[in-house]
Structure 1
Amino acid sequence: MDKTIFTFNERLGIHIPVLSKDWDEYNKEKQNAILLQWEKIRGRIPDRISELEREINRKQAELDNEDNFPRSCLLNSQISDLASIINDLWLWYRLNQSVSMKGHQ
């Protein structure tokens, strides 16, 4: 399979599909190969989310004991960024579930 279809997204910490043409322009064999690769990636998304949730929990624990206002602001910002990443990962996980299901019909 053409590995260039999946590009590593630094922010999300996973490979995401970057299709160079419409889905229907790929032949069935290529579609199946893409779906197989995506299912492997997609299956790791919950683990990635768990990692980020642990990081949020660590930062929240730090925040609970932080008296320095600028440091508190920084921790809040970092927690917000991590939560945004989790939200985006869930969107990828759910959005592409329908694509994966369609490919198996």
Structure 2
Amino acid sequence: MEMYFVHDKRLGIDVPSLKRDWTRYSADTQSEILMHWEEIKGTIPDRVKELEAQINEKLHDLNEEEDFERSCLINDEISELASCINDLWIWFRTNEELSGKAHR
């Protein structure tokens, strides 16, 4: 499965990296890819919770911070974490698209 997925360091999960159109993979390969994706997909809610916990810590830090420049940096960090969460949910829903293609 390594040839069909790459680790996204920013998101903290492996994401699909298909080199050709989905329909060009055999039904067996599609099934294997989908099964592996289901395993990865199952970790996404926990990863989101981890990032939400980091956001909450940073919000606490932001509430305590008096230095404006440091507050801006913390705000940027919060924005990046929120962006990761958004991207994770997009990937979470990607399986629905792949599954639909596999059943056509």
Same fold (TM over 0.5): yes
Aligned partners of 1:34, 1:25: CA distance in 2, in Å?
A: 13
> Per-residue CA shift, 1:3-56, capped at 9, x if unaligned?
121100011110000001111111111000000000000110111000000000
8 Å contact kept, 1:39–1:100:
no
Aligned partners of 2:97, 2:22: CA distance in 1, in Å?
A: 13
Match of 2:60 in 1: 61
SS in 2 for 1:78: helix
Aligned partners of 2:2, 2:80: CA distance in 1, in Å?
A: 29
Match of 2:8 in 1: 9
Task: Give 5+ residue unaligned stretches, structure 2.
Answer: none
Aligned-residue sequence identity (percent) comes to: 49
Match of 1:28 in 2: 27
Matched residue count: 104
Are residues 1:19 and 2:39 paired?
Answer: no
Which TM-score applies when normalising by structure 1? 0.92
Runs of 4+ in 1 over 6 A off after TM superposition: none
Aligned partners of 2:63, 2:10: CA distance in 1, in Å?
A: 26
> Which of 1 and 2 has higher RCO (CA within 8 Å, sep 6+)?
2
The alpha-carbon deviation at position 100 of structure 1 amounts to 2.9
Match of 1:44 in 2: 43
Aligned partners of 1:43, 1:101: CA distance in 2, in Å?
A: 18
The alpha-carbon deviation at position 71 of structure 1 amounts to 0.8
Aligned partners of 2:63, 2:77: CA distance in 1, in Å?
A: 14
RMSD: 1.4
Task: Give 5+ residue unaligned stretches, structure 1.
Answer: none
